[in-house]
Structure 1
Amino acid sequence: MPFSPFLSLNFLLYFMYYKLLSFSILIDIEVERVSLKKAALWLAGLSLLVKLSGFLRESIIAREFGASVYTDGYLLAFSFITLVVAMIAVGFNNVFLPMYVQKRKNAPEQTERNANAIMNVTVLLFLGVSIIGWLLAPLLVPFIYGNMKPETEEIAIEITQFFFLFMSVIALNGILESYLQGRRIFVPAQISKLLSALMGAVFALLFSDIWGIHSLAYGFIFGTVLGILVQLFFLLKKGWRWSPALKIEKDFRRAFVVLLIPSLLNSVVGQINIFVNKAFASNTVEGAVTYLNNASLITSIPHTIYGTTIAVIIFTLLSEQVDNLEKFQNTFFMGMQISLVTLAPIAAGLFLVGEEAIAFIFQRGQFTAEDTYNTYLALMLYLPIIVAQGLQYIVSKSMYARGKTNIIFRISVTTIALNVLLNWLFVGPFGYPGLALTSSFVSLYYLTVSTIFVYRDFEKKEATRLFGLVGRVAVVTAFMAVPLYFLKQLTPISDLYSLWQLLIIVPLGVALYALGLFLFYKEGFRQMISIVKRKAKG
């Protein structure tokens, strides 16, 4: 798939602010400046490659299968994979990482034994989940998703059973990522993600004529196994050793379980909302699940890259600074600043060129112009999630770092009722786009309530500081978006091929945004200029 200029805008903005993060870390953590700076840059590049490989896979799916009962069935089955990934990458990691980092300082050998035992027990538990899931999939899939089309149901059950066979492998992959983060080794986890996405695309390209839509599932699992080998190699290289321990020291186990239960429940809450959305979508029009998935995939570019790069590093820093309120507040604000300044213009840019981006990425083969338009309808209503989830990463990570998993769970569990209610209200008058609208409302609700809880423990000036940042970013973003909107409305540019529109509008957007920073947020502009100069000198 050709490289999209829209994606290049993402890369440009992220690169600038990854450098900003690196510069801030240089000030605050002088001793470790080089390793974190290199990690941020590597993570930026690898995360971009992960997303590009994901788009390559989706582009191949669109060409081979379009938006059909086959793609809907695969995506419904893949939801079980995202459930396990969320449980490990979110639920497990948010508890394991702070405990591992803090306890390893004082008792490294004992902590390593406990961590090994936790990993072994978790893998054994997921072996049991694999067997039960494989047996119950023919009952579980129809129960969750309701009255699917017969072809969709058949494919969803078959692929779900296949995925369940490898749930312990997927869990192990996520646990190893937590180990690596705890040792400040960030790159191998991104390589693992890249292999999973890339192998899915490769298998679909080579074997779709033989295995059909199932080739995607086979490729994903093959890539996951390769990712495990990569992560094990780097862990062993850094001195980590596996032991067949199953016994966890009593105090460590008690503290871990007390925090883990609400954290896992919180991660499951998010996935329950996804299952609910897909259940509603599978009962609307053919291809609705695919439209929502493709729109969500595009809006996930910024916050997925952000969540696997900057948020990972900031979470590590927050975990280390939990006993120093001033540093904790500054790191938190830095995360919020990076989120807003990078994600707000990207959301506005997608509103302007989202349909062109969809056409350029997906519209070929079995994926028609009508499919492009239907995907764009969902995309427009997903746009608030780009900013909301980017900010939510920082808010949630700060609460996890301080052990406030119960508060996060209590907030997130209320989103289930809200999500079901809004889906029921919106799916009738709006159809499947109403489900995207529901997701945005729920995301904004979750961000607002959890942010209020975070700032209760901060100094009052921090809230004023945040509101000031929001106002400046809003002005700069409007300065970029309004002229581009009228450019599309009042000139023949909209009649051009999607690629040419992107090549014109994206660079103009970058230039206008930089000018807006200069006029309305000089501090941010000066920071970028100093970063560019430092890079030139280096």
Structure 2
Amino acid sequence: MFLKSFFTNSIGILISRIFGFIRDLLTASILGANLYSDIFFVAFKLPNLFRRIFAEGAFAQSFIPNFTKSRIKSLFTYRIFIKFFLFLILLSLLVSVFNNFFTKVIAIGFDEKDIELASTFVAINFYYLPLIFCVSFFASLLQYKNHFATTAFSTALLNIALITALLLSRDLTKVEIVYAMSYAVLIGGILQVIAHLIALYKKGLLKIFYVGYRYTRSDKKDKQTETFFKAFYHAIVGNSTAQVSAFLDTWLASFLASGSISYLYYGNRVFQLPLALFAIALSVGIFPKIARMLKSDHHDKALRLMGQSFWFLTFILCLSMVVGLILSDEIVKLLFQRGSFNATNAYHTSRVLSMYLIGLLPFGLSKIFSLWLYSQNQQNIAAKISIYSLVTNVILSLALIAPLGVEGLALASSVSGFVLLFFTIKAFGFNLFLDIISFKKTILLFAVIAVEIVVLLKFKEIIDVYL
């Protein structure tokens, strides 16, 4: 049953987000909002971008289907790991040698003095990239064995390492605090790698690397390696569009009134919570099962699992969306309205949050239906669909920014989510989608939402007295 893996991933994500929130609070209070905090965020920007691309599916979506189909799994595993790991180590060394150049690329607005200061931290933080690749690689092997707990809960280790570094260095200079945080990033990555190595050992998967090495010496071939790289390149495109879209929104928001970038950031942070807790957690949990079922030609079982996942996610995301839309003001006030974050900031952030929440259901469901494409090595189709969504977002952002301001950027993102869902379902198959739809469940969904709205409106009247 998919619920066990879902709850494992969901609880792990929730714990990590809680530690992440504590980290953000400590960073703001200890490091502050100044040049040094900007330097750390810039230094962590590139490896964190790659972390999101790897951890949020690009690697696993390509690796697991090809691993499942591979004739010599140990050889396939060893070759993919060695090629990626050596490339990322060489890239990290390159960044260390030419750290000024790479710092200029990711921090265009910095002057020469700031770039010189930041370049050292860029070099340090970049070594997190090969570490997080190892974590993603090991996690894919564990997912194949239906083991999700290690990956789900170890994500909090990075935040714990950063929290520890902040507390231990709080009385030092700002530069020393940034050094402490940068090395804490590496320690967090090392801890995640160790946790996964222990899990691999317990599952008897470490020997796969040794056996793969022996096969390499015998010069055996495995065609799935080439197939994997083709699929991975397309998966990178498909998983990068959200990051490009977020960058575009930030860039456009910089032309708006002061605070617009912050409204987008805080609104998106809240929006991402239900998306990660439910959609991402569920998609990670069922993906290995879908891949194995389709590989074994058990299409009926795969469709049944897709149907169960669809309705479970539809119910939980719809309920979350309604909560967010009705209580957006209260949520933002409770989380952020204190100190320099005043009522006006809270108002604009809640409006942005409402616009983002319109896209919660389509973005969440897209993750489920895209699994069907990834399981059949159709990453090229998923990549094209993601590009359609990105183009829609760009056009609507430019069209809506003038009349709606920062809220228009969030709304453009949500509409692009519907485009993403439409084309993903089209690729999945409208007939197969209609087989999943149930009239009784649809009626039940609307009835539950109606009751929820009545309850929430009453609840809103009560809590507004205290907020």
Query: Which band: TM-score by shorter chain?
Result: 0.7 to 0.9
Gapped runs of 5+ residues in structure 1?
1-19, 23-36, 498-538
1:332 aligns with 2:306: yes
1:473 aligns with 2:440: no
Taking structure 1 as the reference length, the TM-score comes to 0.74
After the TM superposition, which residues 254-273 of structure 1 pair with which residues of structure 2 at under 5 Å, given as runs? 254-273=226-245
1:43 aligns with 2:9: yes
Identify the residue that residue 419 of structure 2 maps to in structure 1. Answer: 445
Contact 1:291-1:378 within 8 A present in 2 as well? yes
Identify the residue that residue 494 of structure 1 maps to in structure 2. Answer: 464
Q: Alpha carbons of 1:211 and 1:176: their partners in 2 closer, same or farther (altered >3 Å)? A: farther
After the TM superposition, which residues 43-442 of structure 1 pair with which residues of structure 2 at under 5 Å, given as runs? 43-64=9-30, 75=41, 78-89=44-55, 90-103=57-70, 107=71, 110-134=72-96, 138-139=100-101, 160-210=122-172, 212=174, 214=178, 216-239=181-204, 240-241=206-207, 242-243=209-210, 245=213, 249-322=221-294, 323-365=297-339, 367-442=341-416
Which shifted more, 110-119 or 467-476? 467-476
AA partner of residue 355 (structure 1): D
Identify the residue that residue 428 of structure 2 maps to in structure 1. Answer: 454
Identify the residue that residue 524 of structure 1 maps to in structure 2. Answer: none
Q: CA deviation at 1:333?
A: 1.1
Q: CA deviation at 1:248?
A: 7.7
Separation (CA, whole Å) in 2 of partners of 1:472 and 1:348: 16
Provide the secondary structure at the position in 2 that maps to 1:321: helix
Separation (CA, whole Å) in 1 of partners of 2:116 and 2:330: 34
Q: CA deviation at 1:69?
A: 6.9
Contact 2:11-2:277 within 8 A present in 1 as well? no
Which shifted more, 261-270 or 88-97? 261-270
Identify the residue that residue 32 of structure 1 maps to in structure 2. Answer: none
Contact 2:279-2:365 within 8 A present in 1 as well? no
Provide the aligned C-alpha RMSD in A: 3.3
Q: Alpha carbons of 1:403 and 1:373: their partners in 2 closer, same or farther (altered >3 Å)? A: same
Contact 1:73-1:156 within 8 A present in 2 as well? yes
Separation (CA, whole Å) in 1 of partners of 2:355 and 2:114: 26
Q: Alpha carbons of 1:138 and 1:334: their partners in 2 closer, same or farther (altered >3 Å)? A: farther
Gapped runs of 5+ residues in structure 2?
none
Q: Alpha carbons of 1:87 and 1:203: their partners in 2 closer, same or farther (altered >3 Å)? A: same
Which shifted more, 68-77 or 443-452? 68-77
AA partner of residue 235 (structure 2): S
Q: CA deviation at 1:64?
A: 4.7
Aligned residues: 454
Contact 2:388-2:419 within 8 A present in 1 as well? no
Q: CA deviation at 1:227?
A: 0.8
Cα deviation, 1:228-278, whole Å, max 9, x if unaligned, reads 100011101222234484778341222222322212222233322222223
**Percent identity of paired positions between Structure 1 and Structure 2:** 22
AA partner of residue 495 (structure 1): V
Q: CA deviation at 1:94?
A: 0.4
